[in-house]
Amino acid sequence: MKRREFIKLGGQVTVAGTLLTQLSACSSDDDSTNSNTLDKVDDLGYQGAAPFVHGIASGDPLHDRVILWTRITNDGSISATSIPVGYVIATDPELKNIVASGRALATLESDFTVKVDPKLPQPNTTYYYAFEALGYTSPIGRTRTIPNADLPASEVDRVRLAVVSCSNYGYGYFNGYADIAKQADISAVLHLGDYIYEYPEGFYRDQSLIEERPIDPKNEIISLEDYRRRYACYRTDIDLQECHRQHPFIAVWDDHEIADNSWKGGARFHTDSKGSYIERKMSAVRAYHEWMPIRDDSSNELDSQLRIYRRFEFGKLFDLNMLDTRIFGREKLDAAASNEPERQLLGLEQENWLYLNMLEGKRRDATWQILGQQVILAPFRGASATNSGDIWNGYASARDRLLNFIEDNNIDNTVVLTGDYHASFAFDVCKNPFDASSYNPNTGAGSLAVEFVCPALTSLAFPENDNGAEANPHQKFNNQTDHGYMLLDITEQACQCDWYYTDTLTERDDSTRFAKGLYTQTKTNHLVEGSQSRPITNVAALAAANKAVGMKI
């Protein structure tokens, strides 16, 4: 379906009913109130346009909480270093049955972003929410809590997750986000990183779209203000806004949220002329926490904001461990050092955290262990991949430790989700898939886990030679040209991944096509061919399209 309808509303241009104006979050643990109204929030005498220019969002769902996010944009009508913001949460799309409400402040210090973390009454439940500020109400959003941790897998039934990565604004329209936004049966969107790109205007982009999708700021982003402006630029995209409005996100960064090929102490193109890398990294991390609906680490430890690895228990159906393979513990890229015994990709602290979580998942009888991370885990041969220092090939000893841990502790049903590579792959994950005595590609014997690699949403694909099944007998899917996303369908019996591809990136078009389905059955630890997963029925309604704009109170 082509979508080029433009509507004039309140002095601002909108597309398909969503605002298109170009232009450390303050959090609240306010207890719920059962009032059906929220006391009027002071408008400070504001006379400008609707301040919800960058939309609304939710994320990091728990069984009794979900982060809610927005940003307040003052068009200059008032001078204020803090702006009061109200919010309401309800069980119905019209916000009549309110179950929680509260207030927070959008401050200059947090770039006028707001995050609240209210308590919610029911697990595994869809909620609707809105903000109020400066005499306007925001668009109405939709979010969802996850099942109680002790809910048996058989009672969770099915969970569907959309998986995305590598969303470069300059390489085209976010049509994959648009298609995900239409699907009411998605419980959450997993973003595996490269949510933004740091490059200057004109570099690594589709030059034919430079007038339609200009990047702000024009320079390579280095300072805190630069990173904030780049997020603001991306968040004016109406399809990204709509995806955030309809679904909670669970996100981790990759390298481009900081700089290309980042590691804990540097980055590929960061030179002394650009200043301190550590200062740049921490500016990027601060902007990420301000602009993303992520739950902040509440500890006062110096590097607390770097710890974005975290765990979500979707009942006893699955544990989701979101990892940082990029900046928390990664040592400098050096393929020649790959087999050094103590080589670190996750870092010792995060690695031990993961092992303890996987043991806990086994103890509590979680059916699946799902790892959301950035770079290809499976041993992988190809023109670039074989000697790549960037993927787990460059940290082989760290991979050996992880696979040995899975094998030694008899941990079945591990599913790895991977972004970064701008291609679609699927692997049986084995210690040595190239040794016929170690792995049988026909039966899957010798496989310890499975891995699904996500295509880029828009970023340039770079096909390479000699990386197909002829060189990689454990590889079950290879598409290095198409863009789109993955849909993960999880039941007690099987975990299936479907790949969906967009038809174009050069114009807004939310149509997609199903390309491939692969699944792993419980206790088998290898992949087999599957047909397209069926939609989940009897799901809560999407937030209404006519509630996608901010309105004057």
pLDDT tens series, the chain, 553 aa: 433 322 222 222 222 222 222 223 344 444 444 344 456 899 999 999 999 999 999 999 999 999 999 999 999 999 999 999 999 999 999 999 999 999 999 999 999 999 999 999 999 999 999 999 999 999 999 999 999 999 999 999 899 999 999 999 999 999 999 999 999 999 999 999 999 999 999 999 999 999 999 999 999 999 999 999 999 999 999 999 999 999 999 999 999 999 999 999 999 999 999 999 999 999 999 999 999 999 998 776 768 899 999 999 999 999 999 999 999 999 999 999 999 999 999 999 999 999 999 999 999 999 999 999 999 999 999 999 999 999 999 999 999 999 999 999 999 999 999 999 999 999 999 999 999 999 999 999 999 999 999 999 999 999 999 999 999 999 999 999 999 999 999 999 999 999 999 999 999 999 999 999 999 999 999 999 999 999 999 999 999 999 999 999 9
494, β-bridge pairs: 521
Q: Would you say the C-alpha torsion 24, 320, 416, 336 has a positive or negative sign?
A: positive
Q: Quick check: helix, strand or coil at residue 161?
A: strand
Q: Quick check: helix, strand or coil at residue 531?
A: coil
CA 157 and chain centroid, separation: 23
Token readout for 537 is 């029925």
Minimal CA–CA distance to 427: which of 409, 449, 400, 397? 449
Distances (CA, A) of 82 to 42, 72, 252: 11, 10, 29
**Which residue's entry shows tokens 């630069």?**
226
| Rg, C-alpha atoms of the chain | 23
CA 381 and chain centroid, separation: 27
User: From CA 500, how far away is CA 98, in angstroms rounded?
Assistant: 36
490, β-bridge pairs: 159, 495
Neighbours of 383 (CB within 10 A): 12
Counting beta carbons within 10 angstroms of the beta carbon of residue 161, is it exposed (0 to 12), middle (13 to 18) or buried (19 or more)?
buried
User: From CA 544, how far away is CA 546, in angstroms rounded?
Assistant: 5
pLDDT given at position 300: 66
pLDDT given at position 298: 77
pLDDT given at position 375: 98
pLDDT given at position 40: 81
Residues in the chain: 553
Q: What angle do CA 368, 371, 376 make, to 5 degrees?
A: 130
Q: Quick check: helix, strand or coil at residue 259?
A: coil
pLDDT given at position 2: 36
pLDDT given at position 14: 28
Alpha helices in 257-413 (DSSP H): 277-291, 348-363, 396-408
Query: For residues 116 and 105, is the Cβ–Cβ distance under 8 A?
Result: no
User: From CA 452, how far away is CA 448, in angstroms rounded?
Assistant: 14
User: From CA 80, how far away is CA 338, in angstroms rounded?
Assistant: 53
User: From CA 382, how far away is CA 349, in angstroms rounded?
Assistant: 31
User: From CA 103, how far away is CA 54, in angstroms rounded?
Assistant: 19
CA 451 and chain centroid, separation: 17
User: From CA 78, how far away is CA 75, in angstroms rounded?
Assistant: 8
SS (H, E, C) 458-499: CCCCCCCCCCCCCCCCCEEEEECCCCEEEEEEECCCEEEEEE
pTM of the entire predicted model: 0.93
